Amino acid sequence: MRKLILLYKLSGIEPLKYYISGLFLEIINSSIGKEFDLIIPVPPDPGRKKVFEPVTEIAVLISKRSGVDISVGNLIKRRTTGKQSSLNYNQRLKNLNRAFIVVDPEKLKGKRVLLIDDVYTTGTTINKCSILLRKYTSAIYAVTLARSSNINLE
């Protein structure tokens, strides 16, 4: 699954986003159901400009296919942090310290949020975003499609 996601992220093969969003929906429907009313993708790093934003594009498709609203641009990554993949757990925590902000907390008030990311390695990104969002929402559900085996917990 990780290889499939990386293929989509690196090559931008358009049909893959439909397949990947369908897999996300299967997981969401079987484990979470309709217990959320807003989808938020983990925001991209502002310093890594890409032709497209894979997680956001997949989240948009999940929103369209599920009928659940999406919020893009309210949770943002305000600074470039460098790639997490080469860092150990403690370095990842420090690297993401105060990296994310919520632009308009009022839009999250009372919402049950589904946080979407593609690959879970140590959980640092999902955890940092969840802790921040939990200050403003009534519930947070997080889903990723793949688990990385490249984990360095030194």
User: In percent, how much of the chain has pLDDT > 70?
Assistant: 96
Asked whether the predicted pLDDT for residue 121 surpasses 60, the reply is yes
DSSP annotation of 148 reads -
Pairing of strands 75-77, 146-147: unpaired
Q: Does 91 map to a domain?
A: yes
* Number of structural domains the chain divides into: 1
Q: Does 83 map to a domain?
A: yes
Q: Does 152 map to a domain?
A: no
Residues near 29 by Cβ (< 8 Å), separated by ≥ 6? none
* pLDDT single digits (tens) 64-113: 999 999 999 999 999 988 777 778 778 888 889 999 999 999 999 999 99
Full-model pTM: 0.89
Mean pLDDT of 47-52: 77
41 or 47, higher pLDDT: 41
Q: Which residue segment(s) compose the domain that 60 sits in?
A: 2-147
Q: Does 22 map to a domain?
A: yes
In Å, how far are 81, 91, 128 from 96, measured between CA atoms? 7, 9, 7
Q: Does 154 map to a domain?
A: no
Q: Which two tokens stand for residue 52?
A: 């497209």
Q: Does 59 map to a domain?
A: yes
* pLDDT single digits (tens) 6-22: 888 888 788 899 999 99
Residues near 88 by Cβ (< 8 Å), separated by ≥ 6? 152, 153, 154
Q: Does 153 map to a domain?
A: no
| CATH number, domain with residue 72 | 3.40.50.2020
What confidence tier does 120 reach under pLDDT thresholds 50, 70, 90? confident
Q: Give residue 43's identity as a one-letter amino acid code.
A: P
Q: Contact 145/23 with Cβ under 8 angstroms?
A: yes
